[in-house]
Amino acid sequence: MKMSDRLQKAPLSGIRKMFDLAGSGSINLSLGEPDVSPPDEAVRGMSEAAAKGLNRYGPTPGIMPLREAVAYRYKRHGIESGNVMITPSGTTALLMIAQSLIDPGDEALVPSPGFVVYGPHTALSSGRPIDYKLTDDGFQPDIDDIQRKITKRTKVVFLNYPSNPTGGILSEESFKAIRDISADKNIIIVSDEVYEPFVYEGEHISFMGELDNAIVVNGFSKMMAITGWRMGFVTAGKDVITDLTKMAYHVCASPNMPAQYGILSAMPAIDTYLDGVRRTYKRRRDLITSRISNIDGMDMDAPKGAFYAFPKFGYDMTSEELAMRLVKNGLICVPGSAFGQYGEGHLRFSYAADEDKISRGMDILEKVANGIKG
Ligand SMILES: Cc1ncc(COP(=O)(O)O)c(C=O)c1O
């Protein structure tokens, strides 16, 4: 059966590739998912909803009490329930947005290194992804590079802060520059903020308040450690939410009902839960940063957000070769090249793993790195 050219050209994520090559007993620092437990209220709330019979289709943009709870959490940005749509995952939200905004031949500016779906989602929507660079200093969007790459067909700029894979957070200066470009050139900002709860220094700057020119994707996967539930949300202007709801109807009719009730039960105490999770991740971040910074030929600053370390290395090999060498020695990570052309020369380690695992992983990294030098 011949699939569309669009689908045939779409790459599979390179993130799982190393995982598939690893031996059993390897230390896995490749996966971007929380290893902590979800809030008890969420699990209980979902089971109770299913047991009570809340198992049917629901409203396409999500149940109103959950839209209201999300709006309440972000009310400082001027968000109301009509600005919120609940989605079956952040990934689905991103694809629905690409499908809704992009016409054939439209261009979307995509961060590189960056999360792996923005380019393929653009191409699957018959658009052209154009990579833009991040700066060496703090992984900010390189505004000159973006300006150079804007054409009459540029429709969208994707941003992702706190960032996967770099761990960078958005500076006030970058925020303003992107906002100005969007207003001047009529380019829609699609801001993926799924790591918003995980900032260890400074503050997360959100595009949520920019209702006229930004669509924000966020989600419950990372926030509540429920990656398998597949639940996310979008905030945007009310007209945009109405349009996206039309797309959502054709994609899924409605998001998972019991999961929405579970998430709703966990919303009132979510900040207390997240305070604990952030403390845990911060300890692990400090550990991995100090271990990597002490390795000759590896260089990184402490990541300010998300749960990834993205060191640069100075060895004469590609990131894939280095990652392969680590896999053979029992440590799984992701080569920077899996995150786009400008990710080469880096490795990505997830520190959503316990401290013992991180320490043993770093022992392997140190041994392999010392072997290369010598
Ligand atoms: C930057 C970023 N955006 C979006 C997602 C998708 O999250 P989900 O589909 O689980 O909501 C991920 C998952 O790893 C991510 O790293």
- Give the model confidence (pLDDT) of 188-220 as tens digits: 999 999 999 999 999 999 999 999 999 999 999
> Is the same domain home to 295 and 155?
no
Nearest to 134 by CA among 155, 176, 163, 156: 163
Residue 368 φ/ψ region, left for φ over 0, alpha for ψ in the -120 to 50 degree band, beta for the rest: alpha
* Percent of the chain residues topping a pLDDT of 90: 94
Same domain, 192 and 313: no
Using the atom order of ligand 1, give the atom closest to the CA of residue 227.
10
Question: Is residue 194 lining ligand 1, measured as CB closer than 6 Å?
Answer: yes
Is 198 a pocket residue for ligand 1 (Cβ < 6 Å)?
Answer: no
pLDDT tens sequence across 96-139: 999 999 999 999 999 999 999 999 999 999 999 999 999 999 99
Residues 253 and 356 in one domain: no
CATH assignment at residue 355: 3.90.1150.10
Residues 230 and 133 occupy one common structural domain: yes
pLDDT tens digits along 3-49: 999 999 988 766 667 777 777 889 999 988 999 999 999 999 999 99
Containing structural domain, residue 249: 40-269
- Is 374 a residue whose pLDDT tops 90? no
What is the mean predicted confidence (pLDDT) over 301-317? Answer: 97
- CATH number reported for the structural domain that contains residue 250 in this entry: 3.40.640.10
* Portion of the chain with pLDDT greater than 70, in percent: 98
Q: Which of 86, 134, 222 to mutate to test the pocket of ligand 1 (most atoms within 8 A of CB)?
A: 222
Instruction: Examine the fold and report which residue of 269, 300, 320 is the final residue of a domain before the chain moves on.
Output: 269
Residues 208 and 336 in one domain: no
Is 119 in the same domain as 198? yes
190 lines ligand 1 (CB under 6 A): no
